[in-house]
Amino acid sequence: MKHSLILLVAVSALACNRKTTDTAVTVIGGPDPSLFAAGAIVGDVTTEPCRLSNRTDTTCYVFTVAGKPPDHDIGPFCPRTITDPADRVGLWIENQQTYDITGKWVTELATFYNDPAWQLYEEATGKVRVTDSKEACEAAARPDVADEYNNYCVECSLDYFDSPPVVTVRIPTTPIKLTTSSPVGRDAKVGVSLSGVVYEPPAPTHAILAAHTIAAFDDCGGHVNPHVGYHYHAATGCSAEHAQTDGHSPLIGYAIDGFGMYARHTGTGAAPTDLDACGGHEDTVRGYHYHVGEPGENQILACHFGATGSVTEGGS
Ligand SMILES: [Zn+2]
Ligand SMILES: [Zn+2]
């Protein structure tokens, strides 16, 4: 009798634990800061006490990212005229696809969106209306686009800012997998690439389109805003990768819960078929990890299955 009571207590304690952590998952290693590309991080990576989203007190790697990738150029974004070809422009994401924002594509927007109010260019000159100043960038590169920038192709340049925004990343040194996932909030971050560029939640394309603007991405799936500088809304294969020796797709970054983020496809083009709702699965080499969404999905990860650290803007 006494023994079964003790057993019952032990089982309930286990059951309680399983509400916050899933002990069944294999955690192999943790983030490896040495895998970030040279120049991706400003200053040192420190290890500091931190509290994760599930209120676990643990240690985190803390570092400041450079706000611009050291390993690829930024842009181009918007076309300047209605004849600009694909190699002089960036991307737009719609209908699970990416589209080159060519001059010709801009002239077809009213048809593309079945809305005659689209007019991103001047009929007489063929010039595309592009935000080309810091003021225009600040007024247009936000979900509530200022009225005067209706019908603009929106782009910002890091040159508008004296120094890139300071973005501090905290990710757990040992990731903790939870039994339930949490969706990536609109103002939260997904993770950080090995090139030190923040992976953002989906771009708010409905708000952007409601203002008849195109917030152009470059071919790397990134663009600039005044808050985090250059950031990604898609992973298109531009940024630093850490190859895997077993045929698995390369590591491209870390989610803010500390789990690795890998390219969608392996070298042979295959994509995993056993991913959970967050794009994660587990294997014996990497433990639990994510595979990022296709560029056209406007969603790098839908959710996190781990207790998350944080990404803060403004040096705090
Ligand atoms: Zn953005
Ligand atoms: Zn995998």
Determine the distance separating the centroid of ligand 1 and the alpha carbon of 14, expressed in angstroms. 42
Two structure tokens written together for 3: 């023994």
Average pLDDT value for the chain: 89
Per residue in 2-40, pLDDT (tens digit) is 444 343 333 333 433 333 444 455 567 799 999 999 999
- Residue 54 pLDDT > 60, yes or no? yes
Which residues span the domain enclosing 306? 23-71+164-202+234-313
- What pLDDT does 112 receive? 95
In sequence order, which residues have a C-beta less than 8 Å from that of residue 152 and are 6 or more positions away?
A: 120, 129, 130, 131, 136, 140, 213
Domain boundary (214, 231, 248) is at 231
With a CB cutoff of 8 Å and minimum separation 6, the contacts of 296 are 93, 94, 95, 96, 97, 98, 234
Distance from the alpha carbon of residue 245 to the mean position of ligand 2, in angstroms:
13
Residue 118 and residue 243 in one domain: no
Residues 191, 275 within the same domain: yes
Out of 170-174, 237-241, 270-274, 311-315, least confident range:
311-315
CA of 128 to the centre of ligand 2 (A): 42
Q: Is residue 64 part of a domain?
A: yes
Closest-approaching ligand to the CA atom of 300: 1
151 pLDDT band, cuts 50/70/90, is very high
Tokens of 75: 């842009």
Same domain, 242 and 255: yes
CA 17 to centroid of ligand 1, rounded, Å: 38
The C-alpha atoms of residue 284 and residue 243 are separated, in whole angstroms, by 17
In a domain, 56, yes or no: yes
**Cα-to-centroid distance, 222 and ligand 1 (Å):** 7
pLDDT at 98 over 70: yes
- Flag whether pLDDT at 240 surpasses 80: yes
Distance 136 CA to ligand 2 centre (A): 42
Residue 274 within a domain? yes
- Pair 224, 137 in one domain: yes
If one counts the domains in the chain, the total is 2
- ∠ CA 136-155-265, nearest 5°, is 155
CA 303–ligand 1 middle distance (angstroms): 18
Nearest ligand to residue 280 Cα: 2
Flag whether 67 is in a domain.
Answer: yes
pLDDT for 28: 75
- Give the up-direction half-sphere exposure of residue 198: CA atoms within 13 A in the CB hemisphere: 33
220 C-alpha to ligand 1 centroid (Å): 12
Tokens 């953002």 belong to residue: 200
Local structure of residue 128 (DSSP, 8 states) = B
255 and 188 part of one domain: yes
Q: How far is ligand 1, taken at its centre, from the CA of residue 20, in Å?
A: 32
CA of 242 from ligand 1 middle (Å) equals 25
- Distance of CA 58 from the midpoint of ligand 2 (Å): 26
* pLDDT confidence of residue 142: 81
pLDDT tens readout for residues 183-205:
998 778 999 999 999 999 998 88
Specify whether 248 is located in the same domain as 309.
yes
On whether the CB atoms of residues 51 and 57 are closer than 8 A, the answer is yes
Higher pLDDT, 151 or 204: 151
pLDDT at 303: 97
CA distance 2 to 143: 63
Residue 158 Cα, ligand 1 centroid: separation in angstroms?
13
- The pLDDT value recorded for residue 25 is 57
pLDDT at residue 187 in the model? 75
Can you tell me whether residue 214 is helix, strand or coil? strand
Residue 17 has a pLDDT of: 38
The one-letter amino acid at 113:
Y
